A and B are shown apart, each in its own frame.
Chain A
């Protein structure tokens, strides 16, 4: 098999081609695109979205949904902000407790889903409302502005065009790829998503794996929230409010099956790159920002249509 043919058998090849075309067009049309500062801006807006997409990808892997990704993120963001501003806790402690809250929220989602047998959609719709309710009830929609300078600096600092903020998402992506491809719980996770019944008959503790997926999803939502907080320089109660669509868009554009068992870290990451490039291109072209929402919807639909088309062709072949 030639290199080219091997490339095109990868399911992310269409995405890679789209990104290459996008990069070429943007750099040809806009001289501002390839400036160091603009690349820094692009990479910076990439960070939070990537982690949020991974958070949803993990629940999709076991055939579940998590509507509470954004709500849990918002709760973690204000908890971390409150601990730093009101309680004066050191940054490390606040971040650690924030991550723990994320895991706890995820475990709650997972346990409720597994123990009651209620559809994960309804469970996470309800817990999302609960998390948002606590967030708004505690903060009354007032952000925490006085965050420690070292924390805020982390969100701004860069090495040439590479923001420091990019380090946690890249580590998360590598660990996640390793987890899903090489570890026993990771393989179990995909097995449960692929066929829960077969997985259970093969002796995989199905319920524990579903809870694990939700817990990791919660952890990643918390990481996303803390990154967003560093990026904004303040703990806004609205962090996470607009994560829902993009969290599903990236894994699905990346070819994840909604029925579970099939996800790809690389393709999800490429889908996020594509979305961020489109957003940046629109900013550079000074297009109405409302177009972003419209195009995101169109992108999801065309990705879904393309996957369907590919499946039909494979069936026929």
Chain B
């Protein structure tokens, strides 16, 4: 009796470990990089660098989430950077030109982001065209529209509270990181505990099966894209408070990190499986490598190469793990 309970719990532990193997492996890699960078360059763990990293990490995490919620449906969103910059410029416009109070302007930015995301989702579901093409085109549309309306002029006369929040320090961490963690917790609740989250995942895992089981697949896709737009806007507004100005160049380099974090974290491109914690650790790995290379003065120029190689290695490793797991489970069945 006792033995069987023990076996049960140890089996459950094993199952949990197997499920989390990717996140645990990734955390190990992050730890390894921290040890290497800290021993090569003591400046890496200086309070200032830790603070700088926490700010970058917060923004990279939310950018990753923005792609992750769409990956859950098996789609992708190439317009994240464009949505981010539209929200940033809109919030900047509301504050500087219309001199609305900060919170109202930020809410306006978030609302615009959600609206643009909704447009993406609506166009994808209505036309039945691949999300890749729709968001590639809408990215061009949104970015072009933003540049036409703003004439690429920076809004730098924002209320000082915005920049103060970006500079605020709690010892070595930025409050922005707390924002990212809160968003992450909300996403965990969404995907683990709510019907909507399960519907989004079901739509991604097998759209036809989900449809036949009564899941409103179209609605799930539209909601996932709206959420993605909201998250892209959040990342943009976090960056706005870090920069202290609304710049039209925001979001241009978001594409790679937006995919790196969730894919390193174990999200399936075919949809139906995402890991919020994994995406956070994935973003941590990206931030660590970026900051470490900067401190080691390898230079920004080689950074792209490292990130690309890392993405390749991560997906290769994941592939071989999947093949290995499949072989083992086949063996067990026989």
Identify the closest chain B residue to A298 (Cβ): B141
Q: Which secondary structure characterizes the binding site on chain B?
A: helix
Q: Is B134's beta carbon under 8 Å from chain A?
A: yes
**A314 interfacial contact with B, CB 8 Å:** no
A1-9, A157-165, A300-308 - interface stretch: A300-308
B296 smallest CB distance to A (angstroms): 14
> A290-B147, A304-B127 in contact; A116/B315 too (CB < 8 A)?
yes
Among B158-166, B230-238, B301-309, the stretch that binds chain A is: B301-309
Q: Does B76 contact A (CB under 8 A)?
A: yes
A245 in the interface, Cβ–Cβ < 8 Å? Answer: yes
Bitwise, A47-86 to B at CB < 8 A (1) or not (0) is 0000000000000000001000000000000000000000
Bound-state CA distance A300–B133 (Å) is 8
Which of the residues B141, B303, B312 comes within 8 Å of A127, measured between beta carbons? B312
Asked whether any CB of chain A lies closer than 8 Å to the CB of B148, the reply is yes
Q: Is the CB of A300 within 8 A of B137?
A: yes
A130 in contact with B144 (CB, 8 Å): no
The docked-state distance in angstroms from the alpha carbon of A294 to that of B315 is 34
Complex: chain B residue closest to A118, CB-CB: B315
- With A258-B132, A294-B148, A296-B144 known as contacts, the answer to whether A129 contacts B256 (CB < 8 A) is yes
Decide: A290 near B140, CB < 8 A? Known: A116-B315, A129-B307, A301-B134. no
A128 CB–B CB distance under 8 Å: yes
Closest to B268 in A: A119
Known: A116-B319, A294-B141, A304-B137. Is A128-B308 also a contact (CB below 8 A)? Answer: yes
A150 CB–B CB distance under 8 Å:
no
From the candidates A116, A123, A130, name the one contacting B305 in the complex (CB within 8 A).
A130
A18 interfacial contact with B, CB 8 Å: no
From 290 to 313 in chain B, residues with beta carbon under 8 angstroms from any chain A beta carbon are 299-309, 311-312
- Is there contact, CB below 8 Å, between A122 and B269? yes
Partner of A121, one of B127, B132, B152, B299: B132
**B305 engages A290 (CB within 8 Å):** no
Interface string of A99-125 (1 = CB under 8 A from B): 000000000000010001111011101
Contacts of B270 in A (CB 8 A): 119
Q: How far is the CA of A134 from the CA of B304 in the complex (A)?
A: 8
Interface size on B, residues (CB 8 A): 45
Is there contact, CB below 8 Å, between B148 and A122?
A: no
Task: List B contacts of A121 (CB < 8 A).
Answer: 76, 132, 269
Which single residue of chain A is at the shortest CB-CB distance from B130?
Answer: A258
**Are A122 and B315 touching (Cβ within 8 A)?**
yes
Cα(A231)–Cα(B305), bound, Å: 28
Whether A133 pairs with B305 at a CB distance below 8 angstroms is yes
The 8 A CB mask of B118-147 against A (1 = contact, 0 = none) is 000001000111101110111111111101
Q: Are A291 and B305 in contact (CB under 8 A)?
A: no
Q: Is B325 an interface residue (CB 8 A)?
A: no
Task: Knowing A65-B132, A304-B127 are in contact, say whether A134-B144 is a contact too (CB < 8 A).
Answer: no
Residues of A within 8 A of B151 (CB): 288, 290
Contact A126/B136 with A133-B301, A294-B145 known, Cβ cut-off 8 Å: no
Are B136 and A245 closer than 8 Å at their CB atoms? yes
Please provide the chain B residues from 260 to 293 with a CB less than 8 Å away from any CB of chain A in the complex: 263, 269-270
Check if A129 sits within 8 Å of B133, measured CB to CB. no
Inter-chain CA distance A298–B147, complex, in Å, is 15
* Residues of B contacting A141 in the complex (Cβ-Cβ under 8 angstroms): 301
Say whether A301 contacts B259, CB under 8 Å: no
A110 to chain B minimum Cβ distance, whole angstroms, is 14
Are B147 and A293 in contact, CB atoms less than 8 angstroms apart? yes
CA distance A305 to B152 in the complex (A): 30
**Shortest Cβ gap from A16 to chain B (Å):** 22
Contact indicator A293/B137 (Cβ below 8 Å): no
Separation of A116 and B323 alpha carbons in the complex (Å): 10
Do residues B140 and A258 form an inter-chain contact, with CB atoms below 8 A? no
Residues of A within 8 A of B190 (CB): none
Residue contact A304 to B133, C-beta cutoff 8 Å? yes
Q: Interface centre among A137, A288, A291, by most B CB within 10 Å?
A: A137
Minimum CB distance partner of A252 in chain B: B133
Closest-CB distance, A288 to chain B (whole angstroms): 6
CB of B97 within 8 Å of the partner chain: no
> How far is the CB of B46 from the nearest CB of chain A, in Å?
26
Known: A298-B137, A301-B123; 7 extra A-B contacts, CB below 8 A, are A125-B255, A133-B307, A137-B304, A245-B137, A294-B145, A301-B138, A304-B127
**Nearest 9 pairs of A and B residues by beta carbon:** A133-B305, A294-B144, A129-B308, A297-B141, A297-B140, A133-B304, A293-B144, A130-B308, A300-B137
Interface residues of chain A, those whose CB is within 8 Å of chain B, are 65, 112, 116-119, 121-123, 125-134, 136-137, 140-141, 244-245, 248-249, 252, 258, 288, 290-298, 300-301, 304-305, 308
Q: List 26 A-B contacts (CB under 8 A).
A: A65-B132, A121-B132, A122-B269, A123-B312, A125-B259, A126-B308, A126-B312, A130-B309, A132-B304, A133-B301, A133-B304, A133-B307, A137-B305, A245-B137, A258-B130, A288-B148, A290-B144, A291-B144, A293-B143, A293-B144, A294-B141, A296-B144, A297-B139, A297-B141, A304-B129, A304-B134
